Amino acid sequence: MTTADQMRIVEAKLARLLGSGPELGLKGQVLAEGGLIQGWVQSRRLVVVVGVSSGQYALVIFTSQTFPVGRVEDLAIDDVIPVDKELKCEIESGDAVLVNIKSGSSTKIMLEMLPGYHTQNFVAEIYRLTDLMRQDRKVAASSPSSETWLNQLRAAKTTDEALSRDLAQRMRVGEGRDTPTLDASPIPQPRSGSGRNTALVDLDADDDSPNTSLNRQEIALGGAAPIAARESVVKYQMALKEEQFTHKQTFTVFCGTWNVNGQSPISQVKAWLAVDEDPPDIYAIGFQELDLSKEAFVFNESIKEDEWQAIVFASLHPQAKYKRVKLVRLVGMMLIVFAKSTHMEHIHEITSETVGTGIMGKLGNKGGVAVRFEFHNTSICFVNSHLAAHVSEFERRNQDYHDICARMVFQNFVPTKSIKDHDQIFWLGDLNYRITDLDTATVKELLQENNIPDLLLSDQFLQQRKQRRVFTGYKEGDITFIPTYKFDPGTDMWDTSEKARAPAWTDRILWRGDYIEQIAYRSHMELKVSDHKPVSAVFKAGVKVIDPVKYRKIYEDVMKKLDRLENEFLPQVTVENTEIIFDGKVQFLETYTKTLTVANTGQVPVQYEFIKKLNDTSICKAWLTVEPSTGFIMPGEKSDIALELHVDKTTAGPLNAGADQMYDILVLHLVGGKDIFITVSGEYQKSCFGASINALCQMTVPISELSVGALMDLEKPPCTGSAISIGGEEPYPVPKELWFLCDLITSLGLDQEQLFLQPGLRKEILAIRDWLDTGLPVDKPDVSIHSAAETLLLFLESLREPILPFTLYGRCLDVSSNYLQCKQVISQLPQNHKNVFNYMTAFLREVIRHSAQNGIDPKIMATLFAGIFLRDPPGTNFGSGLRAKTNQQLLDHRKARFVHHFLINEPDD
């Protein structure tokens, strides 16, 4: 059932309660579905913004027996909140959107919603209406009819109270059952610094108190557990009591960002890093475009890393001694974190991660790097990012931001941590958002007048944040300095080149978390080596410091109470559904999610984990992910586990060939208890992505027109099936899909800058996929050349076996330094593979012939396509550590050298 269908049911309910005459002019605005959070209890609600012709609006909250709502009779009003100038909407974005509706200073409702189009529209509508009410204070309550309809709704709420209670009870308990059946909405997980209160029984209660009589069951509800779950229980209980053994201590954090445009370091940068009177406790210093050389791009090696690091270290505040906490670099993005030497003993669990958002999410010319650690008892994460360039590409910048948030996962933790899972986050970098709606001359004129407020109205970043599209929940200080981009290097003059780019605040610093106060936000005009000016911000951050005496006392008390309860209770859960079926066709490169709800129906906390089946190497098949794979559930609560189904380049081949089926069995293990088996199944829609070269060459019709049996016959090794043809056509020398992709790129123009280096848009890539699978040879889709280029890379990388078969992998690496021997290897290829190799190298040579316009370099192209032509055989393992990294780099270099021969030489040379 669609949202529009649910809206019609809601409107019918309102019309039944109020009537829909012209005097009311009743109209529904937007509707959203979310989980209403009440302490640690959550139940689903439907929320609609309703207005009347008089200009008054209200949030009407409904409860229902089923979701999506099926009948008007099942819908009951749970609450009515007038939209007025006092109403506030606060949101926090993560895996879900936490919407906090307040009236004045008090919270009316707290809803947890899934991120997406409907939630975004719902929140945007509340903001629009509250702004409207603040601007026109005469609106609301001025019309008798508007008061009447609100009173009618309130009366309807009273009438519906019995139905509401009945529906809520059914959702929690279920008729005729002894165990709860909980709804599938997410519930917040407790963690340190979450700021949410719980209604759990405190294990610290005084056993001898005359007013408190806790029996064993009540204490168990607070946190008793079997021995196997002891450590998790202790951590959980200590997190709940954190405020009892910690106190806030203020430290100074300095964040700096600078796009150095590939320039060599200058003698010192104290004008950037040491301008404050007092030395900061922590430095987080981010660079972008540190090194623009081919070596940095291709091999991720740069001598400038050491040079800039030495200059930075020499330029730190002279009144304190610092030690490096961590350095992380990805191509030109580098982040260095320093701390005072005296703080190092209190910094632990240090780790870093990188995310490249270049083409196919691989190349590190754009993306982010991050460093996280625990400082005393506060988790801190620093992120340095460089987002997509060019004025019009704000949507791609938004996409880069969300990709970094989704893919920046710190693996050294169980469960893993993402950026949002920290008490304090500092995000800095060249975000590349520009000034829109104003030409360069107007921008410079406003700057001459020092009219920064008016200029900021056209700032893309502020516009996107206001629309809640990026950096939701983050804060940024007031900008009082002039734009930091773009200058003529070595001067304070705005860009005088032919492109004459408009000045913009591309370089920004934001933060998120409690107990953070920004005390400075500025640029540093003295440093002129780059076309950007460096930016810095200074914060006072409140950090939770542990009192060891109090901690020890509370810890010992928790342990004593747990000791008395061990082995007295067994974990018990109810799983909502043990047979998960993904309806409809599952398509290549698309993500499908279903929720598995596990409810703790016992008297003790439950620790669960998904475990591997006998002889398996992982808990599930590669096309399925389970998140979280481990967890902890308190009595009477539940855990919502996301089962995500995604077929990509590595899993499409076996599914196409029939070597794998979309069916798996998950084993849910309760620590100290039983195992529960859950089946997951779906139907995969075959795609040319993931097929073999031989099979593709024999398909003279789109793959969607083939039966499953015919496709499996074509994919049998060796490929002995007859050609599938229309009108007696012979098999093609190269796959028609490959020809159409190369032709599409050529028709869009090989002169395009950043060709094969800039990523495409996901929706356009999916459109090309559908075109190749179902639509040939109809009109070409309307897409950008970057989307077409990325699709070509994805198509080649998805081939069931690479262009150069695995059997020749070692031979190719051995002869990579000799062009003649490389040609001999190519002559030994199977005919279809040889045709594809010659076709692709000819196409790439044609792309390189346009290098004067598109800036393509043969070495970069060879590096990009080397891993596609010469894919590592299955099971290849380089181990870990520096030696493994070096071995991988040497192999990558030999692969690139092999391919490079054929990009700079004609086949007859």
B/e letters for 867-883, b = 16+ CB within 10 Å, e = fewer, are bbbbbbeeeeeeeeeee
Q: What is the mean pLDDT of residues 710-725?
A: 63
The dihedrals phi and psi of 307, each to the nearest 5 degrees, come to -65, -50
Q: How confident is the model at residue 576 (pLDDT cuts 50, 70, 90)?
A: confident
- Residue 429, exposed/middle/buried by CB under 10 A (0-12, 13-18, 19+)? buried
pLDDT tier at 132, thresholds 50, 70, 90: confident
- Main-chain phi, psi angles of 274, to 5 degrees: -135, 45
pLDDT category at 47 given cuts 50, 70, 90 is confident
Render pLDDT for 142-162 as a digit per residue (tens, 0 to 9): 444 556 677 777 776 655 655
Query: What tens digit of pLDDT does each residue of 369-393 get?
Result: 999 999 999 999 999 999 999 888 8
Segment 702-709 mean pLDDT: 84
Amino acid, single-letter form, for residue 588: F
Choice among 155-159, 449-453, 696-700, 819-823 with the minimum mean pLDDT: 155-159
Q: In order of start, what are the domains of the chain with their CATH numbers?
A: 3-134+152-166 (2.30.29.110), 250-434+473-545 (3.60.10.10), 573-684 (2.60.40.10), 736-904 (1.10.555.10)
Q: Give the model's pLDDT for residue 312.
A: 96
Q: What is the pLDDT of residue 247?
A: 93
Q: Cβ atoms within 10 A of the Cβ of 50, count?
A: 24
Rounded CA gap, 26 and 136, in Å?
21
pLDDT above 70 for 538: yes
Taking the C-alpha atoms of residue 467 and residue 461, their distance in angstroms, rounded to an integer, is 10
pLDDT tens digits, residue range 290-316? 988 776 666 667 788 999 999 999 999
pLDDT tier for residue 182 given thresholds of 50, 70 and 90: very low
Please give the torsion angle defined by the CA atoms of residues 154, 160, 161 and 167, in that order, rounded to the nearest 10 degrees: -140
Say which amino acid occupies 477.
G
Tell me the residue type at 239: A
Element at 103 (helix H, strand E): strand 97-103
Torsion of CA 747, 749, 750, 754, to 10 degrees: -130
Q: What is the pLDDT of residue 748?
A: 92
pLDDT at site 76: 82
What pLDDT band is residue 22 in, cutting at 50, 70 and 90? very low
- Whether pTM > 0.75 for this model: the answer is no
Kindly tell me if the per-residue pLDDT of 844 is higher than 80: yes
Instruction: Tell me the C-alpha distance between 496 and 487, whole Å.
Output: 8
Is pLDDT at 348 greater than 90 in this prediction? yes
Percent of the chain whose pLDDT exceeds 90:
50
Whether 208 has a pLDDT exceeding 80, the answer reads no
Pairing of strands 591-600, 638-646: antiparallel
pLDDT of residue 885: 65
Distance CA 711, CA 708 (A): 5
Residue 534 contacts residue 272 (beta carbons within 8 Å): yes
Lowest mean pLDDT among 341-345, 451-455, 892-896: 892-896
> Is residue 178 within 8 Å of residue 191, measured between CB atoms?
no
Tell me, what's the pLDDT at 134?
Answer: 67
In this predicted structure, what is the pLDDT of residue 569? 65
pLDDT for residue 104: 64
Output the 3-class SS for 193-240. Answer: CCCCCCCCCCCCCCCCCCCCCCCHHHHHHHHCCCHHHHHHHHHHHHHH
**Preceding omega of 717 cis (within 30 degrees of 0):** no
Q: What is the pLDDT of residues 577-592, one digit of tens each?
A: 999 999 999 999 999 9
> Residue 60: is its pLDDT beyond 80?
yes
| pLDDT, mean of residues 261-276 | 92
What does the pLDDT look like over 382-427, one tens digit per residue?
Answer: 999 999 998 888 999 999 999 999 899 998 886 789 999 999 999 9
Supply the mean pLDDT for the chain: 82
Most confident of 36-40, 199-203, 682-686: 682-686
Stretch 352-377: mean pLDDT: 86
Which of residues 503 and 437 earns the better pLDDT score?
503
pLDDT tops 80 at residue 830: yes
**Is 35 a residue whose pLDDT tops 50?**
yes
Taking residues 798-803, report their average pLDDT: 93
Higher model confidence: residue 205 or residue 571? Answer: 571
Q: How far is CA 783 from the centre of its chain?
A: 24
Give the pLDDT of residue 458: 94
Percent of the chain with pLDDT over 70: 79
Cα–Cα distance measured from residue 904 to residue 823, given in angstroms and rounded to the nearest whole number: 13
Position 44 scores a pLDDT of 75
The more confidently predicted of residues 770 and 108 is 770
Residue 737 CA to residue 548 CA, distance in Å, equals 66
Q: Is the pLDDT of residue 557 over 50?
A: yes
Does residue 181 register a pLDDT over 50? no
Per-residue pLDDT of 627-641, as tens digits, reads 999 988 988 899 999
CB atoms near residue 635 (< 10 Å): 23
Residue 5: what pLDDT?
A: 72
